[in-house]
Amino acid sequence: MRLFSTGDRVSQPQYGAGTVAACNEYHTTIDFDEHGPRTFATAIVKLERSTTVAPPRPKTRRKAAPRRAAAAAASS
Report domain extents, the chain.
1-50
Res 18: pLDDT:
94
- Report the DSSP beta bridge partners of residue 12: 16
Judged by phi (left if over 0) then psi (alpha if -120 to 50, else beta), residue 72 lies in: alpha
d(CA 27, CA 11): 16
pTM as predicted: 0.70
- How does pLDDT run across 44-59, given as a tens digit for each residue? 999 999 888 888 877 7
Residue 50 backbone phi and psi in degrees, to 5: -120, 145
The count of other CB atoms within 10 Å of the CB of residue 49 is: 10
CATH class belonging to 1-50: mainly beta
Res 2: pLDDT:
66
Res 9: pLDDT:
95
Q: Choose among 38, 23, 34, 30: nearest CA to 57.
A: 34
Taking 50 as the pLDDT cut, the residues of the chain under it are none
